[in-house]
Amino acid sequence: MGLRPRLIIAFLSIIILPVVTIFGALSFFSYQLEQIEEEQNNEIESVLKEINKTVLESYDVITDTTQFYKEIKPVLQPYNLEVIVSSQEESVLFQSTDIVQNNSNSMFTMRHSQVQTLDGEILNIEIKSNSLDLSSELSYNKIITVIVISFSSGLVVLILLIVGWTLYISKTILNPLKQIYIATEEMREGNLNYNIGYNKRDEIGRFIKGFNTMRDHLKQSIAKQQLYEKNRKELIATISHDLRTPLQSIKGYVEGINDGIVQNEEMKKRYLHVILSKTNQLNRLIDDLFEFSKIDLDQLVMEKQLVSSDECFTNILQDAEVDLKQKQVQLVVKRPIPDVVINIDPKRMEQVFTNLLDNAIRYGASEIEITFAVNVHKMTLEIYIIDNGDGIAEEDTERIFEHFYRGEKSRSRDHGGTGLGLAIVKSIIKAHEGEVWAESKIGQGSKFVIVIPVKLEVTYIYTGSKPD
């Protein structure tokens, strides 16, 4: 139940339940009073009947006051009654106080009655009492008592409700608030693992859920930041190492040529080849760093234009072919390449494929085979680059697109990488409103998939010869 209904119920119950208790108690005790009154009336009636009966039965001895009192005493005594029997002419025939003096001075006439003897004489009987009847004063006291008891019960219920609701609200509202306070203190101290154990789906539950989500996000972003920092530091170490190693080797080979160690043309060619390859390595590293700094500063400029996909990919593959042949890489192009209009920056797109093909070669098998295929699916173009290389651990397939992230194997073996190539690929594809991902398993090669939007539907499918 939500917080608001709980509070409404609390307030309503605090108002309604004591009132109900008061009215309940009033009606209960009034009913009890009525019952008692009825019982007393019945008792009085039966006592009066008994007195009348005794007066009639003992009328013969009424002149013998002692004897008459003896007869009537069992009825009078238990109720502390007085009786006066007088004739119709109002001459007193018997008066109990003549025999026994009553100590009580608050006697009052309770009842007058008349009986007729067998002789036809009418006798007046007056009965006095100080207790049997309900005097108005007595009733008033009882009513006051009933009202006091009823209001006291209401008050007790009110106090119990206030205490009960206070305990309940403090348990369900104040305790979780205290927990949140502790959690914020813990967070301030740097502990992001403090868990608030509250599973109810009320307002506080939703707030705590939001709080926990915020804390998890913070935790993730701190972990990401730490990883980023760690990778950045590793990169500085890698860059200094990667710059120094080829530079030292270039320096060594140049010194060799300079010192005249190179004796023949073939040796010179070998030296120059090594120098060129090391210079290329340096060049790539510096290019990657330059691109990355532009991405990092959000300065990656796109010069998009509408181009034919077939033309674009054919050009890219043609340019790459020479290099691939030199490296004895077998390139399999699945034809026909669908021809649709795409809005891309051709130079950047070439950079994407250069990076992907370069990776496929660097992490490739001894006999490298790269498959290139393109598909049109609705209004998107899907491009596949599949290699038969080392493959990527499944848990790494997402992370390899992070800046500076390098697979475990690549770090241990010198592939001359920076961990920036795929991050650059992802940024470029993202700038084309597209997506890129890897599907791979260790030892089973890798498949890189790029999806970019198509601007105009297929104009024609290239089947070897273009239609007029």
Query: Which of the ranges 141-149, 192-200, 209-217, 412-420 carries the binding residues for ligand ADP, by CB under 6 A?
Result: 412-420
Q: Indicate if the alpha-carbon torsion angle 378, 380, 381, 385 is positive or negative.
A: negative
Residue of the chain from 392, 429, 450, 454 that contacts ligand ADP (CB under 6 A): 392
Residue 359 binds ligand ADP, judged by CB under 6 A: yes
Q: Which residue has the tokens 């001459």?
A: 91
Contact between 253 and ligand ADP by CB under 6 A: the answer reads no
- Does 406 contact ligand ADP by CB under 6 A? yes
Asked whether 385 and 442 are in contact (CB, 8 A), the reply is: no
Check binding of 363 to ligand ADP (CB under 6 A): yes
- Contact between 285 and ligand ADP per CB under 6 A: no
Residue with structure tokens 């009525």?
34
**310 vs 390 by CB, closer to ligand ADP:** 390
Contacts to ligand ADP from residues 432-461, by CB under 6 A: 446
Task: Kindly tell me which of 153 and 351 has the beta carbon lying closer to ligand ADP.
Answer: 351
Pick from 154, 246, 419, 434 the residue near ligand ADP by CB under 6 A: 419
* Residues 8/148, Cβ–Cβ less than 8 Å: no
| Residue listed under structure tokens 């306070």 | 181
Name the segment binding ligand ADP (CB under 6 A); options: 206-214, 304-312, 398-406, 452-460.
398-406
The residue (of 54 and 397) whose beta carbon lies closer to ligand ADP is 397
Query: 10 Å Cβ neighbour count for 385?
Result: 20
Q: Which two tokens stand for residue 275?
A: 């120098």
Q: Where do we find the tokens 């210079």?
A: 279
CB-wise, 179 or 354, nearer to ligand ADP?
Answer: 354
Cα–Cα distance for residue pair 462/29, rounded to 1 Å: 102
Q: Is residue 400 part of the contact set for ligand ADP (CB under 6 A)?
A: yes
Cβ atoms of 456 and 341 within 8 Å: the answer is yes
Whichever of 86 and 231 has its CB closer to ligand ADP, that residue is 231
Residue 124 amino acid letter = N
Cβ 275 to ligand ADP, closest distance in Å? 22
Residue 70 to residue 103: CA distance in whole angstroms: 19
- Residues near ligand ADP (CB under 6 A), total: 20
Residue from 368, 320, 356 nearest 447 by CA:
356
Asked if 354 touches ligand ADP (CB under 6 A), the answer is no
Tell which one of 128, 238, 387, 434 touches ligand ADP (CB under 6 A): 387
Considering the complex, state which of residue 218 and residue 442 has its C-beta at the smaller distance from ligand ADP.
Answer: 442
> Does 389 help bind ligand ADP (rule: CB under 6 A)?
yes
Residues facing residue 339 across a β-bridge: 460
Q: How far apart are CA 269 and CA 257, in angstroms?
A: 11
Q: Which helix (H) or strand (E) holds 238?
A: helix 203-258
What is the closest distance, in whole angstroms, from the C-beta atom of residue 237 to ligand ADP in the complex?
Answer: 14
Query: Is residue 388 a contact point for ligand ADP (CB under 6 A)?
Result: no
**What are the distances in angstroms from CA 106 to CA 272, 423, 441?**
141, 111, 112
Decide if residue 421 touches ligand ADP (CB under 6 A): yes
Q: Which residues lie below 8 Å from residue 19, measured CB to CB, with a gap of 6+?
A: 154
For ligand ADP, what does the binding mask look like between residues 306 and 345, x meaning CB under 6 A? ----------------------------------------
The single residue among 352, 422, 428, 450 that binds ligand ADP, judged by CB under 6 A, is: 422
CB of 313 or CB of 363, closer to ligand ADP: 363
Say which residues have a Cβ less than 8 Å from residue 10's Cβ, sequence separation at least 6.
Answer: 165, 168, 169
- Contact 392/440 with Cβ under 8 angstroms? yes
Strand partners of residue 461: 338
Nearer to ligand ADP, 108 or 290 (CB): 290
Of residues 367 through 386, those in contact with ligand ADP by CB under 6 A are none
Question: 258: which 2 tokens?
Answer: 């300079």
User: Rounded to the nearest whole angstrom, what is the least distance from the CB of residue 230 to ligand ADP in the complex?
Assistant: 15
Minimum distance, C-beta of residue 298 to ligand ADP, in the bound complex (Å):
19
The CA distance from 435 to 457, in Å, is: 19
The yes or no reply on residue 204 touching ligand ADP (CB under 6 A) is no
Residue 464 CA, chain-centre distance (Å), reads 61
| Binding stretches for ligand ADP (CB under 6 A) | 359-360, 363, 387, 389-390, 392, 400, 405-407, 410, 417-423, 446
